[in-house]
Amino acid sequence: MRSSEKKLRVAGLCGVIVPVVAFSCIFIAISLSPWFSWTANALSDLGVGEAAWVFNSGLMAGGILTMIFTVGLWVAFRNRVLGRVGAAGLFLDAVALFGIGVFSEAAGVTHFYFSVAFFLLFPISLFLLGASAIVSGFRKFGYFTILIGVFAAIPWAFSWDGVAIPEAISALFASIWVIWEGARLYLGREKS
């Protein structure tokens, strides 16, 4: 196995495990926080409570794993400028996820900026990656990618008392795509 194939496999594996790590830490933090309400809180409220260390470290680990995953995307989209721009956007999204964990709500407006960046950059990145795939002739994958981006953005079109539900819905759709593409990279199908 060539070095580049190994790197893509590692990147793909990181993509597959990102949601497992992040969601595990989120749900552990929820279980340690009896006050948490899906309808009245933001997930980030868990970052300043008794389970802050679990929540914040999970987001930081998720951010690092996503950064590694996006390096694989960068390689996979090596001959496609639009795909590379999408991969770069997803890398910035991973930095935002890491930043949410580093700068909890106690950091004030800094946390807010990282949070907004995370939920905004993901669908934009998918739109670019999907468009790149379509232009390159991989229409099914491109449309699937764009559709996931739309589904990740839709919850934000509605009004919510607390934002934990739209955050979780967006993160769930993000996870579906990251696991799917991570598996493709791991299995060496990044060109299909």
pLDDT band at 5 (very low <50, low <70, confident <90, very high): confident
Check: CB of residue 5 under 8 Å from CB of residue 53.
no
163 lies in some domain: yes
Check: CB of residue 170 under 8 Å from CB of residue 150.
no
Q: What is the mean pLDDT of residues 155-172?
A: 95
pLDDT(192) > 50: no
Q: What does the block give as tokens for 84?
A: 């590379």
Q: CA-CA-CA-CA torsion for 70, 168, 149, 59, nearest 10 degrees?
A: -20
131 lies in some domain: yes
120 lies in some domain: yes
126 lies in some domain: yes
H/E segment holding residue 128: helix 109-135
pLDDT(49) > 60: yes
Q: What does the block give as tokens for 26?
A: 């989120």
Residue 1: per-residue pLDDT: 61
191 lies in some domain: no
pLDDT tens-digit series, residues 62-117: 999 999 999 999 998 888 899 999 999 999 999 999 999 999 999 999 999 999 99
CA pair distance 103, 168, nearest whole angstrom: 19
161 lies in some domain: yes
Domain that holds residue 24: 3-186
pTM (2 decimals)? 0.94
Residue 8: per-residue pLDDT: 92
Residue 4: per-residue pLDDT: 78
pLDDT cut 70: percent of the chain above it: 98
CA pair distance 117, 139, nearest whole angstrom: 28
Domain count, the chain: 1
pLDDT band at 190 (very low <50, low <70, confident <90, very high): low
The mean predicted confidence, pLDDT, of the chain is 95
